Structure 1
Amino acid sequence: MGFKDIVGQEKTINFLKRSIKNKRIAHAYIFEGPEGVGKFNTAIAFAKGIQCKSYHEDACNICSSCLKVNGGNHPDIKIIEPEGKSIKNKQIEEFQQDLSRKPYESNKKIYIIKDANSMTASAQNRLLKTLEEPPEYAVIILMSNNVSSFLPTIKSRCQILKFHRIGEKYIEAFLINKYKIEKDEAKVLAAFSDGIIGKAIKLKESEEFKTKREETIQVIEKILKKDPLTPFEEVEFFQKHKDHIDEILDFMLFWFRDIMIITQTRTDKFLINLDKKNTLQNHMHHIAYEKIGDIITVIEKTKNDIKANVNFQLAIEMMLLTMQEV
């Protein structure tokens, strides 16, 4: 893992590269951003670059230090993860004891604390003592999806680097290049990734995702056939996937969005479900164009109702009945 392997975080990567090149490495950083955007990979690439014996824009990957990082056994790079649901006071105490010992074979000791926002209050207070007077060889990287969970005194002693969701085109290109998949498949995965490359990779490797998508399309097909019993029969499908209802409803939103686009433009250029173009065209003939917007509205309303804890079965039944009526 090196800087070259990080996708879509160019501003942060360039900052870290300059820090290594100019030997202006801070004692403490907070890497903030959603899970899956590349915080951990960036932390490893940064640590690797700091320790590399032949660094030039990126770690060399051939020196003894890089080889140890690749093997996960560099003595001066430590990773701390939550024990259970949180990082405990005891873990920070152990980290401080380890930090009191000088580096074994380099100029820096680097600690990457994953899910640092899960630190208990006592753990944060203990960590603060280290951040106030860190040894000159210390580099501490706190990874978090929510910087507001830290004490103000901790934030004030760290450089905060933000990691952002990235555009679908970047994710598409990454998936095509890494997995050699067709553009149609990459487009669907990118659309459902929410701008998070880690999520796109999980979806690519998930057979469950593909199955849920196919089953959702089948449900839509049944609804469009206007059988009055279908809305009540298909509620079971949504109950089965209740824990992933946002994803199921997003499948439906993207599907009807595509029907609207293909109806209006007669082109597949902007379709998300490009691999299902023939099915979309078939469904297009079952819905009046002016009604598609009503269907999209009722799906969005159902998403909001479920978030507001409206009765789940009732919300789904009403959605399916309304879809059938329009």
Structure 2
Amino acid sequence: MSFQDIMGQDAAKRLLQNSLRKEAISHAYVFSGPAGSGQMKTALTFAEALFCQQLKDDACGECLECRKVAHGNHPDLHIVHAEGASIKIDQIRELQRIFTYRSESGNPKVYIIEQADKMTVQAANSLLKFLEEPQVPAVGILISDNGQALLPTIQSRAQWVPFTPLNPDMMMQELSHEGYPAALSRCVVHLASGLDSCREILQQNWFAEIRNVVLQLGKESMERGNSSLILAQQKVFKTGLAEHLDTLFHLFHLWLKDMLHFQYGRHESIIFIDQLDTISKLAVTRSTEQWVSYMDLAVECRKKLRYNVNGQLCVEQFLMGLARA
């Protein structure tokens, strides 16, 4: 796999490829960023490039070393995953035992620790000693959604490689290519920060259902007022959708924002583009200030949910707020 096959993350790729070109490889890296933004894919590509027999700053994908990484059977690459809720000291000790043996190829050995922030304190302290005094040439890659959660002593001994949320348009293009419905993909990329999270949501039946409910409730509130409360009772609180109220309010926020996009002629920014006919009719029924106040109300309801305010009460207050012209 080549760095060119990795979506986005130009800064991270540039940093790693410059290190390869200059032969200035750090003994440890922290790949920190939102889940699904490509850390593991980048880590495997970096390892492949370190082993590659053909290229200096990338992986050719064709030589024997690259093929071993691609097939998951390279003897000098070891990946550590959490066992249950944590990464335990015995896993780090086993890694240290494996790394007492030198690489037969002369390359540095590489280890990748996924969800590195889940290491127990004992495991992290054991890894710290390993980082400082590896018995053989080694490169460690610690992957974390929140690198700041790692021990400060580990952070200070590793090179930081930041990963950023993927561009929504980029994610939407990939999801559509994978066969996910365009209307759902267009919404989910504004709810989740990475492709993995997007895929996880799209594979749940409730997401398509809650999107439809948002459209029904929004239209009902604007046109018929308080009848939307009855609809919410039937469609949300007598179904499993009541477990996903945060997503409901988030989708409402996007839908309300679409009204502003329409008012300002920014059709290319409309999320619910398949509802353009309805949006065009509703957008002109309220002022810009009113649409903004509705968006603020959706945000406020999401905050209340985090403070354990009754979910049904939040939904009812929100729908009544929409009904007031």
Quick one: percent identity of the two aligned structures? 29
**Aligned equivalent of 1:309:** 308
Q: Does structure 1 conserve the Cα–Cα contact (< 8 Å) formed by 2:100 and 2:136?
A: no
**Aligned equivalent of 1:224:** 222
1:229–1:165 distance in 2 versus 1, CA, 3 Å: same
TM-fit CA distance, 1:216: 1.9
TM-fit CA distance, 1:230: 2.8
Q: Does structure 1 conserve the Cα–Cα contact (< 8 Å) formed by 2:109 and 2:138?
A: yes
TM-fit CA distance, 1:5: 1.6
Q: Deviations over 1:131-157 (max 9, x none)?
A: 121134211111112222222221121
TM-fit CA distance, 1:48: 0.7
Return the alpha-carbon distance in structure 2 between the equivalents of residues 125 and 266 of structure 1. Answer: 56
Residues 264-303 of structure 1 correspond to what in structure 2 (within 5 A)?
264-266=263-265, 268-284=267-283, 287=286, 290-303=289-302
Residues 1:143 and 2:143 aligned together: yes
Return the alpha-carbon distance in structure 2 between the equivalents of residues 305 and 111 of structure 1. Answer: 43
Residues 1:72 and 2:72 aligned together: yes
Q: How many equivalent pairs are there?
A: 323
TM-fit CA distance, 1:258: 0.9
Residues 205-224 of structure 1 correspond to what in structure 2 (within 5 A)?
208-224=206-222
* Letter in structure 1 aligned against 2:119: M
Q: Does structure 2 conserve the Cα–Cα contact (< 8 Å) formed by 1:33 and 1:163?
A: yes
Return the alpha-carbon distance in structure 1 between the equivalents of residues 266 and 256 of structure 2. Answer: 15
Q: Does structure 1 conserve the Cα–Cα contact (< 8 Å) formed by 2:217 and 2:231?
A: no
TM-score (norm. length: structure 1):
0.89
1:236–1:143 distance in 2 versus 1, CA, 3 Å: farther
TM-fit CA distance, 1:207: 5.2
TM-fit CA distance, 1:300: 1.3
**Aligned equivalent of 2:232:** 234
TM-score (norm. length: structure 2):
0.89
* Letter in structure 1 aligned against 2:228: T
Return the alpha-carbon distance in structure 2 between the equivalents of residues 206 and 229 of structure 1. Answer: 28
Return the alpha-carbon distance in structure 2 between the equivalents of residues 174 and 233 of structure 1. Answer: 35
Residues 1-326 of structure 1 correspond to what in structure 2 (within 5 A)?
1-175=1-175, 178-179=177-178, 187-194=186-193, 196-202=194-200, 208-235=206-233, 237-239=235-237, 240-262=240-262, 264-266=263-265, 268-284=267-283, 287=286, 290-326=289-325
Q: Provide structure 1 residue ranges, at least 5 long, that are not aligned to the other structure.
A: none
Q: Does structure 2 conserve the Cα–Cα contact (< 8 Å) formed by 1:27 and 1:136?
A: no
* Letter in structure 2 aligned against 1:222: E
SS of aligned partner of 2:30: strand
Q: Deviations over 1:78-128 (max 9, x none)?
A: 110000000011111111111112224442211100000000011111111
Return the alpha-carbon distance in structure 1 between the equivalents of residues 138 and 158 of structure 2. Answer: 13
1:186–1:311 distance in 2 versus 1, CA, 3 Å: closer
Q: Does structure 1 conserve the Cα–Cα contact (< 8 Å) formed by 2:226 and 2:319?
A: no
* Letter in structure 2 aligned against 1:212: I
